[in-house]
Structure 1
Amino acid sequence: MRALLIRDIRLAVRAGGGFGLGLAFFLIVVVLVPFGVGPDSGLLARIAPGILWLGALLSCLLSLDRIFALDWEDGSLDLLATAPLPMEALVSVKALAHWLTTGVPLVLASPLFALLLSLPPEGYLPLLISLALGTPALSVIGTFGAALTVGLKRGGLLLSLLVLPLYVPTLIFGAEVARRGAEGLETGVPLAMLAGITFGAIALLPFASAAVLRVNLR
C-alpha cells in the first residue's frame, strides 16, 4: 500500500494534477472576487469563509478525473484489480493520494488566501480546522465519482455533475464553521456535523467505489 501511495503521488504531480494546479486555481478565485464585489474590506470579511471554501472545493474538483484515468489508459487498473490488495484498500489509497496532493496544499495555503480577503485573524484557526476536517471528505466523495465515470470518454463534465451535489453538505458546514469562528461564535455543532460527514464518507464510500469499479472492469 505504501508503494502504491508513493506511485500515485508521483503520477499526480507529473500529470499536473498536484500542488500547482489546485493552488493556482484557488489563488485565481481569491484574487478575482474583490474585482467582482468591490474592495470593501467589511464585505470581503463577511463573504471570505464561503469564498475560501468554494475555492477549495472547486480546486479539488479539477483533478478528480485523473484519479483512475491514468491507470485505466495504460491498463494498470486491471492489474491492480487482480492484485492481492483488496479493491477497497486500493480506492482508499487513491483517495489518500488525492488528498495529500490537493487537499493538504490548499489547507496550508488557506491562511495566506484568507489574508487577501480580509478575514479577521480569529477566523484563521477555525478555517484551517474546517478545511483539514472537510477536504478528506471531498477526496473520498470525488473518488467515488471518479469510479463511476472511469472509462468514459469526456467524463469530466459528467463527473462534476455527479459530485457537486454530494459536495454541498460539506461546503455548507465547512463554511459555517469558518464563518462562526470569524465572528467569535460557537462552532461545535457545525464542526460535529462536518466531522460526521467526513468520517461517514471514509467509512462507507470506499466500499461503494470498489463495487462500482468491479462492475466497470467486467
Structure 2
Amino acid sequence: MSPADIRPTPLQAAQALLLRDLRLAWRRRSDALQPMLFALLVVTLFALAQGREPQALAGVAGAVLWLAVLLSGQLSIEGLFRADAEDGSLEQWLLAPVPLAWLCLVRVAGHWLVTCLPLLLLSPLLALMLHLPHDRIGLLLASLALGTPLLSLIGGVVAALTVRLGRAGILVALLSLPLYVPVLVFGAGVLVAAGNGSDTGGALLMLAAMLVGGLVLAPLATAAALRISLE
C-alpha cells in the first residue's frame, strides 16, 4: 500500500479535528461557559440600568442582544490557533495532505459550535429579559444563525494574523471589531425593521450573502495569514 493510499480524506481530517476540539472544549467546560455568562451579565446589567419600562427595553433589545453576543464571542477568538502554535501543531497543518483552508474552516466551525451555538440557544431567554415581543424572537434567531458564523469566520482571520504576537487581546479586538460592524448593522437592523413595520427580508438576505462570501473567502484568507505568521 502506497502512502497516498493511507492519506486521510478531507472529511476524515475534518471529523478528527472537530472531535479533538470538542473533547478539549468538554475538558475546559468552565472556559466554554464564559461567553454565555458574559452575555447573561451584559443583558442583566442593561435591563437593570434601563429600569422597568418594557417598551423602552423592547425598543433597544435587538441592538443589546447583538452586542452581547458579539462581545461574548470575542472572548475566545484570541486563542483560536494559539495553543496549536505553541505546541507545533500548526506546522503539521502546513505539511498535512489536506488543504490548510479546509482545516481552518473546520477549526472555525468548532469555535462556532462551542461558543456561538450556546449563545444562540440562550438568546430567547435573553430576549424575554429585555421584553422583546414574542413574534420577533424567530427573527432574532434567524439573524443570529446567519450572523454568528460570519463573526467566527472574521475572527478566524484576525486570530491567524496575530497568532505569533503573544498576548494580543487588545490588538485582536482593534482589528476585528471594525470588521464586525456590517454584520452588527444588518443583524440588529432586522429587529429594528420589524419594530418599524418595514420589510426584514433585505437585511436577512444581506446577512446570507455575506455568510456565503465569508465561507468562500475567509478560510483562504485565514490559511494565507497562518502561512505569513509562521514564516
Band the TM-score falls in, shorter-chain normalisation: over 0.9
Provide structure 2 residue ranges, at least 5 long, that are not aligned to the other structure. 1-13
TM-score (ref. length: structure 2)? 0.90
2:138 alignment partner, one of 125, 137, 153: 125
Alpha-carbon distance between aligned partners in 2 of 1:12 and 1:182, rounded to the nearest angstrom = 38
- Of the three residues 51, 76, 81, the one matched with 2:94 is 81
Report what 2:128 is aligned to. Answer: 115
Q: Which secondary structure state, in structure 1, belongs to the residue aligned with residue 114 of structure 2?
A: helix
Out of 149, 174, 194, the position equivalent to 1:161 is 174
CA deviation after TM superposition for structure 1 residue 12, in Å: 3.4
Equivalent residue for 2:199, pick from 177, 180, 186: 186
| Residue aligning to 1:55 | 68
Q: Assess if the C-alpha contact under 8 Å between 1:30 and 1:117 holds in 2.
A: yes
Change (3 A) 1:94 1:217: same
Aligned partner of residue 152 in structure 1, secondary structure: coil
> Structure 1 residue 181: deviation in Å?
3.1
Identity of aligned residues (%): 48
Counterpart of 1:217, as a letter, is L
Secondary structure of 1:119 counterpart: coil
Q: Distance in 2 between matches of 1:114 and 1:184?
A: 19
Answering whether residue 80 of structure 2 is matched by residue 67 of structure 1, we say: yes
Amino acid aligned to 1:211: A
The gaps in structure 1 that reach 5 residues or longer are none
Q: Would you say 1:208 and 2:187 are equivalent positions?
A: no
Moved more, 51-60 or 75-84: 75-84
TM-score norm. by structure 1 comes to 0.95
Structure of greater Rg: 2
Provide the residue aligned with 2:209 in structure 1.
Answer: 196
Question: Any idea what the Cα deviations from partners look like across 1:55-76, whole Å, max 9, x if unmatched?
Answer: 0001111100111011111111
Do the aligned partners of residues 100 and 18 (structure 1) sit closer, same or farther apart at CA in structure 2, a change above 3 Å counting?
farther
Distance 1:117 1:19 in 2: 24
Q: Does 1:142 align with 2:155?
A: yes
Match of 1:12 in 2: 25
* Mapped partners of 1:136, 1:168: distance in 2: 14
**Secondary structure at the residue paired with 1:112?**
helix
- Distance verdict in 2 for CA 1:14–1:69, change over 3 Å: farther
- Deviation of the 1:108 alpha carbon: 1.0
